[in-house]
Amino acid sequence: MSNKFEQAIVKILKDDYPVEIKVAAIMAEYKQSQRTMLNELSNKIGNVIDTTYNDTVIHK
């Protein structure tokens, strides 16, 4: 996990809320970090596809 995720978890744990709220907040933060990671991966894959396409089709 990223440092940003870890910082968010520490902040949640320090908050003065009931445990149930903390658990829900941690679950939401985890889900959001997964989405961010998948989005970054998708962008990288898209860049590889675009570069490969440009190198093989456009520059023939």
Quick one: which of 15, 44, 24 has its CA closest to 36? 44
Which tens digits make up the pLDDT trace of 11-53? 999 999 999 999 999 999 999 999 999 999 999 999 999 998 8
> What per-residue confidence (pLDDT) applies to 53?
86
Confidence check: pLDDT of 2 > 80? no
Confidence check: pLDDT of 59 > 70? no
Confidence check: pLDDT of 1 > 70? no
State the pLDDT confidence band at 57, using cuts at 50, 70 and 90: confident
Structure tokens given for 24: 């829900």
∠ CA 22-38-48, rounded to 5°: 160
